[in-house]
Amino acid sequence: MPLKLPKIIGHRGCAGYAPENTLEGIHTAADMGIEWVELDVKITKDEIPIIFHDDTLDRTTNGSGNIADKTLEEIRELECGSWYGESFSGLQVPTLEEVIDVLLERNLGLNLEIKPCPGREKETAEVALDLLSTIWDDHDRLLISSFQHVSLETAADIAEDWHRGLLLPEKWPENWEDLVKYLQISTINVNAATVTREQVEDIMDLEKPILAYTVNEPDQARLLQSWGIDGFFSDTPDVLKEGIFVVH
């Protein structure tokens, strides 16, 4: 099945308007009419998949320390909203299962980025996708992405028929084309701030959709679109939506 990719995907939910990777962020994106969101999954010490970006708790919760050292119960005692704004205080880090319930309820597509803590590349993919496979059956509205080749390889082993996205960092691995073929990649996701027109043209030779992260300015989106980029991850998807599709 081909992926039904929209032009704009809410980044970490809707990170310009609500704390990243929270249920509130997902609802905010849905309320704006955004069709897909991108979220990050990690696993706790007791191997529960949670939606969280960093390896440590410090930036977005009132706790500290490594995610990999904390059980779900310990993480549930923290809140992850007040760093963003007082009106969001008291929010909890959601589990993958809770997030899927909301996505299904709001009829949203999902780009799930496997964001493992160091050394947990295989386990994070296994645990997350095992759960996902019991609940999610809309294959053309699901993209599993990662910077970690081991995680994508594991995803291919567990759920071969799900679409996979290869995230390319600022400095591309020399064997990126081999990885695209070996991992049977559906989309190539590039850093909007550093990607060059030449690099975009190299990807276009492979005839794969190209998504760029993170784009919040309509001017940048239009430029990248003119190079051949197909879609964008955005913290402010409404601004981008208006800027790309409305001709003033």
Active-site positions read 11, 53
Q: CA-based Rg of the chain, rounded to a whole angstrom? A: 17
Q: What is the largest CA-CA distance in the chain?
A: 53
Which are the contacts of 132, defined by CB distance < 8 A and separation ≥ 6?
Answer: 96, 100, 112, 142, 159
Taking CA atoms, 176 is separated from 62, 203, 204, in Å, by 38, 10, 13
- Within 126-198, strands assigned E span 142-146, 163-167, 187-191
Which are the contacts of 14, defined by CB distance < 8 A and separation ≥ 6?
Answer: 25, 26, 28, 29, 32, 34, 37, 235, 237
- 3-class SS of residue 233: strand
Q: How far apart are CA 22 and CA 13, in angstroms?
A: 7
- Within 122-198, strands assigned E span 142-146, 163-167, 187-191
Query: Closest Cα partner for 239 from 224, 225, 219?
Result: 219
| Identity at 102, one-letter amino acid code | V
Q: Of all residues in the chain, what percent are helix, strand and coil, respectively (each to 5)?
A: 40, 20, 45
